[in-house]
Amino acid sequence: MKQPSPPTGPNPTDPTDARASTSPPGSPPRGTAAPPRRARRGESLRFAVTHALPAFARGIPAPRPAVVALLGAVGQARWSAATLRALHDRDDGAPVLLGGASGDTLVLLDPADVQEFFARPVRELALDAVDKTKMLSVIEPTGVICSHGDLREARRACNDQVLAHHEEAHPSCGTFQTVIAEECSRLATKPTLAFARLQRTVQRISRRIVLGDQAAGDEELHRWLLALRKEGNWGAVRHGPTPAGQRLYEAATDRLHAYAPHAPAPTLLGRARDTTCGEDVDAVGQAHHWLLALDTVAPIVARTLLLLAAHPAEQAALHDVPHAPDTTRLRACVQESLRLYPIVPDLLRILRTDTTWRGVPYRAGTHVLVPIGFLQRDSGLVPGGSLFAPGRWCTDGADRDTRMAPFSHGEGRCPGDRLGLMAATEFCAQLLREHRLTEGRPRLDPHRPLPGALNASGIQLTLSRT
Ligand code: HEM
């Protein structure tokens, strides 16, 4: 695929620089409206079979370990990449319109289009795509992603304040780091660390960060939330929540409301209580997403540590500084693991107004997809795309480079990006303070392109005391 844009072109580190969007290669001349480039029926079918259906079968809010393992064993990530590459190569990366069960989806495969995707306002290119909203409305019906327009802006402003999106570090960072240190101190006592134990620890941390110590031992709440997320896996093919899903949502929400008045001020629910969120915003309801998002720290940590176990030089570099490990470098390792194995590999939006893209008109209601998991691994765009090279995140502006987007960019960028990165980095740092990773399963070959998918629930790590 194409090389990164030359210095005279759009600035890939600035999501608001949409210069390229005015006339990327393949655009019709000004004043003429070309018809959309429609995929052939076989191409749409191939996309559905190799990319969209496996993503649905894998389970989005609650990944199904058996399906993830099966798809890994048959090499589904390679099929999906081959499909997207073929779509790209047919017309030099021009946007392509695919037909599907939920209507048309415009797939963007060129870096200039991806840059424009991030630069457009979310009022026009909204996050509440149909299938995503059907899924999320089971587990967080009052969440920010399930909305658009004024209501979304109010929900987003509430999230931004509670999560301190515009601040360098979260004001409760110190409290959260203490929570993580306390929980990790129990973990490293055994030489092997399996994913299930790591996951239970992360869930305790999520509850303490969102609700406070009062909820530390409330595993029942997490059982309800996990069962509810499994219901959410089916959301896209159902008409609304099932009675069982409704009961789970109500039980979990009642529990959140019971905790809310007593949540200490530094916790997320405490901050939500003390923040003016606007009358229409269900501030407590946002906690469903905060718990879901913080729970993803478990697979992120497991994959980061597995990558470090397979790259001894990178692990050694973390201890080059006194009072190791070097958290700046460790944070880059977490970012690199997220680039290779993103939590959100497909960024999906919906057009809320009729609009044009490269001079081609599209109707409101058209979906727009950036398969970022595929693009940010493409060596033509990101050198050494399938290799673990954390140093790339230590260069100036890497975090704003639109070729890599584990947290998205622009107005839809994750408001919990710094908090999530801090939590994952601190967790790894605690484990590596007095231990070294000596082995990891599955085994990864650091000299070959890394596998397209890594089933977190199958990861097992061996730690030895320093
Ligand atoms: C730990 C790693 C995390 C990753 C990789 C991640 C990634 C993302 C991505 C890619 C999006 C955009 C989704 C889309 O376009 O559909 C997003 C949205 C969001 N994330 Fe995160 N996230 C993380 C952690 C967190 C945390 C810790 C929180 C809060 C506690 C959080 C809260 C949110 C919210 C509220 C949104 C919706 C934003 C909106 O609709 O404008 N995330 N996240």
Check pocket membership of 347 for ligand 1, CB cut-off 6 A.
yes
Check pocket membership of 161 for ligand 1, CB cut-off 6 A.
no
Task: Give the residue, by CA position, lying nearest to ligand 1 atom 1.
Answer: 420
Shortest-distance atom of ligand 1 to CA 411: 41
Contact 190, 440 (CB under 8 A): no
Check pocket membership of 259 for ligand 1, CB cut-off 6 A.
no
Say whether pLDDT at 448 is over 70: yes
Contact 65, 458 (CB under 8 A): yes
d(CA 85, CA 251): 45
- The pLDDT of residue 15 is 43
Q: What is the pLDDT of residues 340-352, one digit of tens each?
A: 999 999 999 999 9
Say whether pLDDT at 43 is over 80: yes
Say whether pLDDT at 24 is over 70: no
Task: Give the residue, by CA position, lying nearest to ligand 1 atom 4.
Answer: 407
CB hemisphere CA count around 391 (13 angstroms)? 8
Task: Give the residue, by CA position, lying nearest to ligand 1 atom 31.
Answer: 416
Confidence grade of residue 257 (pLDDT, cut at 50, 70, 90): very high
Q: What is the pLDDT of residues 152-198, one digit of tens each?
A: 999 999 999 999 999 999 999 999 999 999 999 988 778 899 999 99
Distance of CA 187 from the midpoint of ligand 1 (Å): 27
What class is the 19-465 domain?
Answer: mainly alpha
Confidence grade of residue 40 (pLDDT, cut at 50, 70, 90): very high
- The pLDDT of residue 20 is 37
Say whether pLDDT at 21 is over 60: no
Check pocket membership of 127 for ligand 1, CB cut-off 6 A.
yes
Q: What is the pLDDT of residues 317-364, one digit of tens each?
A: 999 887 779 999 999 999 999 999 999 999 999 999 999 999 999 999
Shortest-distance atom of ligand 1 to CA 122: 41
Which of 100-104, 216-220, 269-273, 418-422 is predicted with the least confidence, judged by mean pLDDT?
A: 100-104
Torsion of CA 434, 440, 446, 450, to 10 degrees: -120
Contact 148, 136 (CB under 8 A): no
- The pLDDT of residue 266 is 98
- The pLDDT of residue 284 is 96
Say whether pLDDT at 211 is over 50: yes
Confidence grade of residue 1 (pLDDT, cut at 50, 70, 90): low
Task: Give the residue, by CA position, lying nearest to ligand 1 atom 9.
Answer: 407
Give the mean pLDDT of 303-320. 96
CA-CA distances (angstroms) from residue 415 to 112, 157, 165, 289, 347? 24, 10, 5, 12, 15
Give the mean pLDDT of 306-315. 97
Give the mean pLDDT of 357-372. 96
Shortest-distance atom of ligand 1 to CA 423: 1
- The pLDDT of residue 92 is 92
Q: Which of 407, 290, 286, 298 is nearest to 347 (CA)?
A: 407
d(CA 460, CA 443): 10
Contact 353, 124 (CB under 8 A): yes
The domain spans of the chain are 19-465
- Return the best residue to mutate from 414, 421, 425, 427 for the ligand 1 pocket (most ligand atoms within 8 A of CB): 414
- The pLDDT of residue 190 is 84
Distance of CA 413 from the midpoint of ligand 1 (Å): 7
- The pLDDT of residue 387 is 98
- The pLDDT of residue 5 is 39
Task: Give the residue, by CA position, lying nearest to ligand 1 atom 3.
Answer: 420
Q: What is the pLDDT of residues 56-91, one digit of tens each?
A: 999 999 999 999 999 999 999 999 999 999 999 999
Check pocket membership of 126 for ligand 1, CB cut-off 6 A.
no
Say whether pLDDT at 10 is over 90: no
Check pocket membership of 289 for ligand 1, CB cut-off 6 A.
yes
Check pocket membership of 407 for ligand 1, CB cut-off 6 A.
yes
Give the mean pLDDT of 429-444. 95
Distance of CA 417 from the midpoint of ligand 1 (Å): 7
Distance of CA 414 from the midpoint of ligand 1 (Å): 4
Spacing of C-alpha 368 from chain mean position: 17
Spacing of C-alpha 124 from chain mean position: 22
- The pLDDT of residue 100 is 86
Task: Give the residue, by CA position, lying nearest to ligand 1 atom 32.
Answer: 416
Q: What percent of the chain has pLDDT over 90?
A: 86
Check pocket membership of 344 for ligand 1, CB cut-off 6 A.
yes
Check pocket membership of 415 for ligand 1, CB cut-off 6 A.
yes
- The pLDDT of residue 36 is 87
